[in-house]
Structure 1
């Protein structure tokens, strides 16, 4: 269900490289949640770094929503760059498996497969 890759890059470099890979694949970064800084700003002792990138391709999103509008709750796709015990990781929940749990539509399965392949390529390019 997860796609996780360890990289030798620093946290910040991996985040920068992921944003560039997203753009190269004609997806947009809608928002980046800096979860580590948010937790620390609330007084929580949190040692790790974590940025969650919300990414979307408008054409693919429209295909998903035209199949089943309820799936708006599964959008946009999220890719995380985070540290864990001194290692920098990049990962995601695979869209194909997630959407197949929400819908049995064959057309949706094909769209999810296309999205998943692109997002995995983005992660691989960022490592």
Structure 2
């Protein structure tokens, strides 16, 4: 269900490189949640870094929503760059297994496969 890679890059470099890879693959970054900074700003001791990138390919999202509007709750896709005990990781929840839990529509599975392939490439290019 998860796809997570380890990189020798710093957290900040991996975050910057991921954003560039997303754009190269025709996706957009809708928002970046800096979870580490948010937790620390609330007075919580949190030593790890974690940014969650909400990414979307509008054409693919429109295909999904035109078949089943309920799937808006599973969009956009998310890619995380985070540290774990000093090691930088990049990961996601794979779209195909997630979608197959939510829908049995073959056309939607095909869209999920295309999206997953693109996001896997983004992650692998970033590491």
Bin for the TM-score computed over the shorter chain: over 0.9
Which residue of structure 1 aligns with residue 29 of structure 2? 29
Scaled by the length of structure 2, the TM-score of the pair is 1.00
Q: Report how far residue 67 of structure 1 moved.
A: 1.1
SS of equivalent residue, structure 1 residue 124:
helix
Which residue of structure 1 aligns with residue 17 of structure 2? 17
Structure 2: stretches of 5+ with no match in the other structure: none
The C-alpha deviation readout for 1:7-58, integer Å capped at 9, x for no partner, is 0000000000000000000000000000000000000000000000000000
The CA distance in 1 between the partners of 2:67 and 2:87, in whole Å, is 39
Scaled by the length of structure 1, the TM-score of the pair is 1.00
Structure 1: stretches of 5+ with no match in the other structure: none
The CA distance in 2 between the partners of 1:80 and 1:18, in whole Å, is 9
The CA distance in 2 between the partners of 1:52 and 1:88, in whole Å, is 13
Which residue of structure 2 aligns with residue 83 of structure 1? 83
Which residue of structure 1 aligns with residue 117 of structure 2? 117
Which residue of structure 2 aligns with residue 93 of structure 1? 93
SS of equivalent residue, structure 1 residue 6:
strand
Which residue of structure 2 aligns with residue 71 of structure 1? 71
SS of equivalent residue, structure 1 residue 4:
strand
The CA distance in 2 between the partners of 1:17 and 1:30, in whole Å, is 16
Q: How many residues align?
A: 127
The C-alpha deviation readout for 1:54-99, integer Å capped at 9, x for no partner, is 0000000000101100000000000000000010000000000101
